[in-house]
Amino acid sequence: MMDDPFATIGFALKLAQQALRTHMDAALQQIGLTTPQYAVLTFLEVEPGASNAALARRAFVTPQTMQAILVALERAGLVSRTPHPEHGRVQQTELTASGRDALKAASGIVADVEARLRDASAPLDPRDVAAMLFRLAEALR
């Protein structure tokens, strides 16, 4: 048995994830966004027209939660949704000009968070740290 049952990789990962989410939410709140909303805006920049299901997977939320996120982003004028030309029930979502502006502001905030993480990972190479975390995630899939 371990001396400290909380000195585990799993507990450390959860602690780091929770700290990241709390910090990101607080930082992004300055511009009126949440972490999942930022994830949606980021993904839409890379893949305009993404489906709700794809956005939900990317933001680590349920499809029902994604629907609420998209409604809020649409009301804020950050995204526009239109029916898919071939699949009537599917909505295509794209960034608006305001959405691109919000993403630019949010990206600066997130870059600062990422810099703190890189500094905290020293003297390890941040790419090695990220690669190890990806391996851990893959090991549990």
Question: 72-106: per-residue pLDDT in tens?
Answer: 999 999 999 988 777 767 778 999 999 999 999 99
Question: 108-141: per-residue pLDDT in tens?
Answer: 999 999 999 999 999 999 999 999 999 999 999 9
Number of helices followed by number of strands (H, E) in the chain: 6, 2
Residue 93 is classified by DSSP as E
User: Within 10 A of 72 (CB to CB), how many other CB atoms are there?
Assistant: 16
Fold exhibited by the domain 31-117: Arc Repressor Mutant, subunit A (1.10.10)
Q: Where are the domains of the chain?
A: 31-117
- The token duo for 19 is 């700290």
